[in-house]
Structure 1
């Protein structure tokens, strides 16, 4: 089950480049990053730090040997202790070009904290699919990692490998971090489901089948009844379990998935609006128009026009 879901999670995700860095920190320090269209990896080689999010939710402490994955590049800060003043990441790393690496020092010596960081860049044409269901942070503690020989050995050789300038170093670094990323997701799906409703939904035998159907075949005329049959559950049990784990009703979730894909097609392709409506499962152009406006507070035509104007002005990065 885990392998099937993991394959579905990663199938549409095309990792194309990487920026990696070694961070050394000492004293009282803090760094505030911005949201980005990438997967972020933090591995605490030595020492520890505190992760905090902009919404004020509880902080997450990382200790020596821990690994944190941010599947969606969610904005967060990392610091020596809770409440420490933070410096914008852009001030410490003013230019982040894919394929590059660097050493970043923050705070004051002696530098007792060492962290290996990487930003894995998605292809801008890749839709999120089922991958969008992952939680904003996944933390693998050191004891858990020590039970994963391949993951531990890959992490162990990363510092020396990324320091090399041999032919193909950029590609090797990308694939090495990609291996860490994939193995981490596998461990999360196998061992962390009790800590995250999102992971529990992906691991649930029935709900995961329904989610894969919604994300892989969103244009099909699904109903609660047909999704429940796909999940191998009764209608009532399916609806209740889905809402508890996913946080939404099945049909509302399906609508959101369809409209996300419609927004991507409007933004990144020249496909006609009528065809887009059909591609994402709407049999009525009016129904699609109304649903899109309810979801994004703008009509499909106005959205496409605005994105086009922003692209001409150079304001649209094209990321998801």
Structure 2
């Protein structure tokens, strides 16, 4: 397996907002969450809970020290036991007590509150979400013994409950980077330990397909064809095409097109990049071909997209300025996002719309 495939997969995935909270629960309790456009993290600090998606799938038990990642923010309940009566997440969010910079403390159930769970919502930009990321399973569960094989992840998780309550200089930025680390290292463990549970994870572990994915995501501007990608993967054309579709969920050239056009959206959001240069930078030999592909994918021209992004960014900046003033005037209600936007896995400022802060992850 190419050792950089995960970095190339996550490189376009920009973290633009975060909310984290410490949950304390007691008695028989339950919380019903909702679908959200973010990745959600649940880390069981003390005791455990049961996760249920409300369908025919079996409940998932989390024990002390377990970590659950929801890559797509899929709606679920988490409770003391299966079938427990639940409270809507939206009803609990307003009850958050100030718990430090950018965090909240939520209590549910009845005293004594012996169950403790660290939760986080990681909001990323849909502009950069790679196609393979969308194919990840709705939940990835890492048991305590798996975390013990990744000392950096385990130390980060065990340090976060005390860190998120601090008000020391830079604490919000430290917390933001820590949750980035948790997210990336969790996916790395999933690739190594849970590949058989998901076609997308198997694709990242497959020697040939992972090599092709690294080429597509890292060198998307190259004039790739199915034949050249198959050679890169060390596979015959027919076998490569079949296995790629089975594991990734779409043909190789479709995956390449989506990667190129997502990069085009990122470049269009950056007005310092001349629009005439974008087609060549993402691998198109002609402006016409780029315009046709972009319009087919997004139902608008590249120029229209840039204009709309520019208008939306201006509106968002005014909203953010007002939101910052509101937080300063009413600090006790603040449970705002972390420090300025980050990026997976490197530190780059994300362009585009930043969503308003959300309540604790559910």
1:249 pairs, out of 248, 251, 264, with 251
1:61: which partner in 2? 60
Give the match for residue 331 of structure 2.
none
CA contact (8 A) 1:79 1:86 kept: no
Q: How far 1:67 sits from its partner (Å)? A: 0.5
Q: Quick one: structure 1 residues 2 and 193, their matched pair in 2 at CA, closer, same or farther if it must change by over 3 Å?
A: farther
Q: Deviations over 1:278-318 (max 9, x none)?
A: 22111122222221122112222222233333334448962
Task: Kindly indicate whether structure 1 or structure 2 has the higher relative contact order, using CA contacts under 8 Å at least 6 residues apart.
Answer: 2
Q: What is the Cα deviation at residue 66 of structure 1?
A: 1.7
What per-residue deviation string (whole Å, max 9, x for no partner) do you get for residues 46-94 of structure 1?
22131539xx6847624113201234x5343333246955524486059
TM-score normalised according to structure 2 size: 0.73
**What is the match of residue 21 of structure 1?**
21
Unpaired stretches in structure 2, ≥5 consecutive residues: 320-350, 356-362
Map 1:289-304 to 2 at 5 A. Answer: 289-304=291-306
User: Does structure 2 conserve the Cα–Cα contact (< 8 Å) formed by 1:12 and 1:129?
Assistant: yes
1:168 and 1:309, CA in 2 relative to 1: closer, same or farther beyond 3 A?
A: closer
Mind listing any 5+ residue stretches in structure 1 that lack a counterpart? none
Moved more, 267-276 or 249-258: 267-276
* Counterpart for residue 77 of structure 1: 76
CA shift, 1:276, in A, is: 1.6
Note if contact 1:20-1:101 (Cα within 8 Å) is conserved in structure 2. Answer: yes
The answer on whether the counterparts of 2:44 and 2:66 sit within 8 Å (CA) in structure 1 is: yes
1-structure distance, mates of 2:292, 2:155: 52
Is the 1:67–1:141 contact (alpha carbons within 8 Å) kept by the matching residues of 2?
yes
Question: Residue in 2 aligned with 1:209?
Answer: 211
Distance 1:32 1:227 in 2: 42
1:87 maps to 88
Give aligned pairs, total. 315
1:35 match: 36
1:158 corresponds to = 160
Q: Which residue of 97, 113, 116 maps to 2:115?
A: 113
State which drifts further: 60-69 or 1-10.
Answer: 1-10
Aligned-partner Cα distance in 1 for 2:312–2:163: 40
- Provide the secondary structure at the position in 2 that maps to 1:209: helix
The 8 Å contact of residues 43 and 68 in structure 2, kept in 1 or not, is answered as yes
Q: Counterpart of 1:155 in 2: which secondary structure? A: helix
Once residues 98 and 277 of structure 1 are traced to their aligned partners in structure 2, the CA distance between those partners, rounded to angstroms, is 46
What TM-score do the two structures reach when normalised by structure 1?
Answer: 0.81
CA distance in 1, matches of 2:311, 2:260: 24
- 1:227 paired residue number: 229
Root mean square deviation, CA, Å:
3.6
Q: Which residue of 1 aligns with 2:5?
A: 5
1:115-264 aligned at under 5 Å gives the runs: 115-120=117-122, 127-128=128-129, 132=133, 135=136, 136-264=138-266
In structure 2, do the counterparts of structure 1 residues 318 and 90 end up closer, same or farther at CA, with 3 Å as the change threshold? farther
Contact preservation (8 Å) 2:5, 2:213: no
SS for the counterpart of 2:4 is helix
